[in-house]
Amino acid sequence: MSDSPDSDSPDSPDSKVDVDTLARELAELSPRRILRRAFELFDLEDIAISFSGAEDVLLIELACDVLGDRKPRVFSLDTGRLHPQTYQFMAKVERHYGLRIEYCFPEAAPVEALVRTKGLFSFYEDGHQECCGIRKVAPLRRQLSGLRAWITGQRRDQSPRTRGAVPVFERDLAFAGRDEGSLYKFNPLVSMGSDELWDTIRAFEVPYNALHERGMVSIGCEPCTRAVLPGEHERAGRWWWEAATKKECGLHVPDVADMPDMPDGPDA
């Protein structure tokens, strides 16, 4: 990884990196090699892993393996409404990997205004977008404004309707990076299926959230997460009272609220 000003980084003035070309190159690589390439392209202070407190812990495992004695930057959105088990798991991850997670919190005033106006559970009545916008999207925007690239645990099989075409590498058009410059996104796990991901977690004895043992596959805030039933898709446990096209909070699909409603199906 070069520290020189003319480093071959996508944000470097002399950069010759083409997003489409790099996306095609990375699409042929394993998650570990994608992470290695990401850390070659961006210095450690410029790139960070987004950690949800769920199975994307595999990103931290692989990144620590790639970096050796160095530690990746890891951040997480603390909405104030996560499960106790998730907070306990995050503390375990910090101890296990010897790092500190950069917790991102919502601003108090918008949260206070929402709760005072609509109560603690307004999302059951008018949808989760407003609450997620305050508790998740706004803190994420602040965090990303200090980065040049971020790494997510998105997988195409999580929701074929909204994530089925997610590339392994992309320019993030929803958020701005440092100095309002270009922001890039790596999705190293995008091609992994759920079975392969969990086989890898178990094979490497990676710590995982205890809620997974309770049938919670996709884990978010406590009021908005439930266990899935046999045969249900993992995203069925998130915002289960809403339509199948509303299974995003705006972190990766900012315009999902404008998608047409579709009947619930196996990829809800």
Instruction: Return the H-helix or E-strand segment holding 149.
Output: strand 149-151
- Rounded to whole angstroms, how far apart are CA atoms 44 and 70? 9
- The response to whether 104 counts as a known ligand-binding position is no
Burial of 29 (C-beta count, 10 Å sphere; 0-12/13-18/19+): middle
Q: Is 104 a catalytic residue?
A: no
- The response to whether 64 counts as a known ligand-binding position is no
Amino acid letter at 74?
A: V
Active-site residue (options: 48, 190, 216, 249) = 249
> What residues have CB less than 8 Å from 197, skipping those under 6 apart?
55, 58, 155, 189
Burial of 45 (C-beta count, 10 Å sphere; 0-12/13-18/19+): exposed
Residues known to be catalytic: 249
Which residues does the annotation place in the binding site for [4Fe-4S] cluster?
131-132, 221, 224
Which residues does the annotation place in the binding site?
131-132, 221, 224
